[in-house]
Chain A
Amino acid sequence: MTDTAQTWRGALGRAKALEFQEYALAIVVVLLFIAGAILKPDTFPTWDNIRNMLTQSSVVGVLAIGMTFVIATAGIDLSVGSIVAAAGVFGGIMVGTDGTSSLVFILAAILFATFLGTCNATAIAYGRVVPFIATLAMFSIARGLALLLNDKLPVSLLDLNGGSFGDPRPFSLLWFGVGRIFGIPVSVFVFLAIAILGWIVLNRTRYGRYVIAVGGNREAARIAGVPVRRIIFSVYVLSGFLAGISTVLLCARLGSASPVSGNLYELDAIGAVVIGGTSLAGGRASIVGTFLGVLTFALIFSLMTQLNMSTEIQQVTKGLIVLGAVLLQRPEARY
Chain B
Amino acid sequence: MSRKRLAISVGAALVLALGATACMGDDDDDSAATTTDTATETTSAGGGSGETVKIIASVPPTDHGWLGAISKDAQAAAEKHDDVDFELLQAADADSQAQQIQQAISQKPDVLVVLPQDGAALTPVAQQAERAGIRVVNVDRLFTAPDAATATILGDNYQIGVLAATYIADQLKCQGNVVEIQGLAGISVTEDRTKGFTDTIKQKCPDGGLKIVASQPGDFNPDKGLTVMENILQAQSDIDAVYTHDDDMAQGVVQAIRNAGRDDEMFLTGVGGSQDAMQQIKEGGLYRATFLYNPNMAASAVNMARLIGLGEGFEELVPPEVPRQVVVPAAVVTKDNVEDYEQYAFD
- Chain A interfacial positions (CB closer than 8 Å to B): 40, 43-44, 46, 48-49, 52, 55-56, 143, 147, 151-154, 156, 165, 177-178, 250, 253-256, 258-263, 301-302, 305-306, 308, 311-312
Report yes or no: A255 in contact with B215, Cβ–Cβ below 8 A: no
A52 neighbours in B (Cβ, 8 Å)? 230-231, 234
User: Could you list 22 examples of A-B contacts with CB < 8 Å?
Assistant: A44-B235, A52-B234, A143-B63, A147-B62, A153-B68, A153-B347, A154-B222, A156-B276, A165-B259, A177-B259, A178-B259, A254-B226, A254-B255, A255-B251, A255-B255, A258-B222, A260-B63, A263-B219, A305-B216, A305-B235, A311-B217, A312-B185
Report yes or no: A305 in contact with B255, Cβ–Cβ below 8 A: no
Chain B nearest Cβ from A310, distance in angstroms? 8
- Which single member of B232, B252, B258 contacts A305 (CB below 8 Å)? B232
Q: In the complex, A305→B233 CA distance in Å?
A: 10
Cβ of B64 under 8 Å from chain A: yes
B227 neighbours in A (Cβ, 8 Å)? 56, 301
Q: In the complex, A91→B217 CA distance in Å?
A: 28
Chain A nearest Cβ from B295, distance in angstroms? 13
Q: Which of B217, B226, B234, B251 has the most CB of A within 10 A?
A: B234
What total of chain B residues lie within 8 Å of the partner, measured CB to CB? 35
Q: Which 5 A-B pairs have the closest CB atoms?
A: A305-B231, A306-B235, A311-B185, A261-B223, A49-B234
Report yes or no: B65 in contact with A254, Cβ–Cβ below 8 A: no
- Which single member of B217, B237, B259 contacts A43 (CB below 8 Å)? B237
Q: A250-B223, A305-B228 are in contact. List 5 more A-B contacts (CB 8 A).
A: A44-B234, A147-B62, A254-B252, A260-B223, A308-B215
A306 neighbours in B (Cβ, 8 Å)? 231-232, 234-235
Instruction: Count how many pairs of residues, one from A and one from B, have CB atoms less than 8 Å apart in the complex.
Output: 99
Shortest Cβ distance from A55 into B: residue: B230
A263 neighbours in B (Cβ, 8 Å)? 219, 221, 223-224
Q: In the complex, A156→B275 CA distance in Å?
A: 13
- Chain B interfacial positions (CB closer than 8 Å to A): 62-65, 68, 185-186, 213-217, 219, 221-224, 226-228, 230-232, 234-237, 248, 251-252, 255, 258-259, 276, 347
- Which single member of A152, A255, A261 contacts B68 (CB below 8 Å)? A152
Chain A nearest Cβ from B212, distance in angstroms? 9
B231 neighbours in A (Cβ, 8 Å)? 52, 56, 301-302, 305-306
Report yes or no: B259 in contact with A260, Cβ–Cβ below 8 A: no
Report yes or no: A40 in contact with B235, Cβ–Cβ below 8 A: yes
Shortest Cβ distance from A263 into B: residue: B221
Chain B nearest Cβ from A150, distance in angstroms? 10
Report yes or no: B255 in contact with A56, Cβ–Cβ below 8 A: no
Report yes or no: A308 in contact with B259, Cβ–Cβ below 8 A: no
B63 neighbours in A (Cβ, 8 Å)? 143, 147, 152, 259-260
A165 neighbours in B (Cβ, 8 Å)? 255, 258-259
Report yes or no: B251 in contact with A256, Cβ–Cβ below 8 A: yes
Chain A nearest Cβ from B62, distance in angstroms? 6
Chain B nearest Cβ from A247, distance in angstroms? 11
A40 neighbours in B (Cβ, 8 Å)? 235
Shortest Cβ distance from A84 into B: residue: B223
Report yes or no: B65 in contact with A153, Cβ–Cβ below 8 A: yes
B259 neighbours in A (Cβ, 8 Å)? 165, 177-178, 253
Chain A nearest Cβ from B238, distance in angstroms? 11
Q: In the complex, A253→B258 CA distance in Å?
A: 10
Report yes or no: B237 in contact with A256, Cβ–Cβ below 8 A: no
B232 neighbours in A (Cβ, 8 Å)? 305-306
Q: In the complex, A143→B216 CA distance in Å?
A: 26
Chain A nearest Cβ from B330, distance in angstroms? 24
Q: In the complex, A166→B230 CA distance in Å?
A: 18
Report yes or no: A260 in contact with B235, Cβ–Cβ below 8 A: no
Chain A nearest Cβ from B242, distance in angstroms? 14
Chain A nearest Cβ from B190, distance in angstroms? 10
Q: In the complex, A48→B233 CA distance in Å?
A: 10
Shortest Cβ distance from A88 into B: residue: B223
Q: In the complex, A178→B347 CA distance in Å?
A: 27
Chain B nearest Cβ from A331, distance in angstroms? 34
Report yes or no: A43 in contact with B185, Cβ–Cβ below 8 A: no
A261 neighbours in B (Cβ, 8 Å)? 221-223
Report yes or no: A254 in contact with B258, Cβ–Cβ below 8 A: no
Shortest Cβ distance from B251 into A: residue: A256
Chain B nearest Cβ from A332, distance in angstroms? 33
Chain A nearest Cβ from B92, distance in angstroms? 8
Chain A nearest Cβ from B3, distance in angstroms? 20
- Which single member of A49, A177, A256 contacts B222 (CB below 8 Å)? A256
Report yes or no: A154 in contact with B248, Cβ–Cβ below 8 A: yes
Q: In the complex, A253→B226 CA distance in Å?
A: 8
A253 neighbours in B (Cβ, 8 Å)? 226, 255, 259
A49 neighbours in B (Cβ, 8 Å)? 234
Q: In the complex, A253→B347 CA distance in Å?
A: 22
Q: In the complex, A298→B347 CA distance in Å?
A: 33
Q: In the complex, A44→B232 CA distance in Å?
A: 11
